[in-house]
Structure 1
Amino acid sequence: MKQLTLNEFKQKYFYKTELQDLCRQYGLPTSGTKAELNSYLEAFLSGIPKEQIKPARKKQQVRQLTVSEITLTTPIVDSGFSFNDASRQFFAQYFHIEHFSFKKEMAIIKRAAEARQDTDMTVADLITQYQELASVKQHQQIVNRTAEEQTYQWNSFVRDFCQDPVSQQFNNKLKVAAILWHHVKNSAKPKRFTSDLVKTYAAEIKHFKKNK
């Protein structure tokens, strides 16, 4: 199979499974977030030998902690701490709520600590940094600028399409969004929705409505 060029790679949108397939094909690390997989491929296609491209974060080789073993002083890297049912119960008890859902900001902080191999960062530090980030007035803009968030263009595309008044004429909005996304995904166009796309591909959408 012909190797992608860096420019071709940057112009196309890839799902995570497609990125993993490419990494496997080129002998690169296949585990990690979409942003991390993207970084491996960009490095390789930029000319860096695959032997020099290492996983951004190493997998924990230790047993996962139980809820009774988690404390505020527990390191979040290489201790067995993970975002699982045990830590969910711990955070529910800490915040005095019945059910706790992991926050996006927490995942961002934990991945950054893993990438740095910051074995000094504790659960207490994680909570403090999360609360500081959540208290920033523009915290959502900060989250959206992270590399990982920028890989979810399809979700943003569908959301923006459904929020645009032009979408109200369609009963099956998801199918129409998929038709438009297909063209954007495989082009050099920005991976975002604009109402002009509906005009550009009106004939194809009309054909779908007629034959569904």
Structure 2
Amino acid sequence: MSQLTLTKFKQKYFYKTELQDLCRQYGLPTSGTKAELNSYLEAFLSGIPKDQIKPTRKKQKVRQLTADEITLTTPIVDSGFSFNDASRQFFAEYFHVDHFSFKKEMAIIKRAAEARRDTQMTVGDLIAQYQDLTSTKQSQQLVSQTAEENTYQWNNFVRAFCQDTVSQEFDSKLKVAAILWQHVKSSTKPKEFTPDLVEIYAAEINQFRKK
């Protein structure tokens, strides 16, 4: 991996653990999302000295809050607030649901606040921004435009395959998508689904065609 170039890096698919290993090898920040790790490595491989590559978001060094310590006025940054079981319990009670799952939009808003060191933004602001996005139907646009969404290449590949009419020819769509993905993942081509893949690897997936 010592001969890794920027071009080779962009052509290859890496799991998050592999990105962390590379960052560790080159002396770069090792915490963050896949998109953030990618940005550190791309900067380094572009020639930027490693001592000039800083973490996009700083780790919180304070104790994480419990559910009963979280309120609408709790700051998002440097307060001990985190997306964990405690905040999940808080949001479940706030939204009056038995089980709460964190939304992509909420994570995007939180990461943006951490990146700009916005110590004034509160949990209430987070909820308000999230609700505003979903009420105006802008959430999907926000999610699709984030660098992090682009790292979900397998998920995006499956989604594109299932949305293409060619997928209707198969009984086991996920199995077919997985076979095609393995070829794309190990190639130097963009990690995206294109209909021609069905013809190129027909011999391997014909067994899943509908009778």
Partner of 1:184: 184
The answer for the alignment partner of 2:194 in structure 1 is 194
Give the total of aligned pairs. 209
Shift in Å, 1:205 = 3.7
Q: Could you report, residue by residue, the CA deviation over 1:111-160 in whole angstroms, capped at 9, with x for unpaired residues?
A: 11111111111111111111112122232022111000111011111222
Partner residue, 2:17: 17
For 1:1-212, what aligned pairs fall within 5 Å after superposition?
A: 1-205=1-205
CA shift digits 1:71-128 (9 cap, x unpaired): 1111111111111222122222222333322111111111111111111111111111
The one-letter code matched in structure 2 to 1:99 is H
Residues of 2 paired with 1:19 and 1:123: CA distance?
31
Deviations 1:41-75 (A, max 9, x none): 01000101111111111111111111211111111
Where in structure 1 do 4 or more consecutive aligned residues deviate above 6 Å? none
Per-residue deviation at 1:206? Answer: 5.2
Question: Structure 2: which 5+ runs fail to align?
Answer: none
| TM-score (norm: length of structure 1) | 0.89
SS in 1 for 2:101: coil
- Aligned-partner Cα distance in 1 for 2:29–2:93: 37
- For 2:189, give the aligned amino acid: K
Q: Which amino acid aligns with 2:80?
A: G
**Tell me, which stretches of 5 or more residues in structure 1 are unaligned?**
none
Distance 1:16 1:24 in 2: 12
Q: Partner amino acid for 2:25?
A: Q
Cα distance in 2 for residues equivalent to 1:29 and 1:19: 10
Give, in whole Å, the separation in 2 of the partners of 1:67 and 1:179.
Answer: 43
Aligned-CA RMSD value: 2.1
Question: Which AA in structure 2 matches 1:24?
Answer: R
* Percent pairwise identity: 81
- How has the CA–CA distance of structure 1 residues 97 and 21 changed in structure 2, closer, same or farther, with 3 Å as cutoff? same
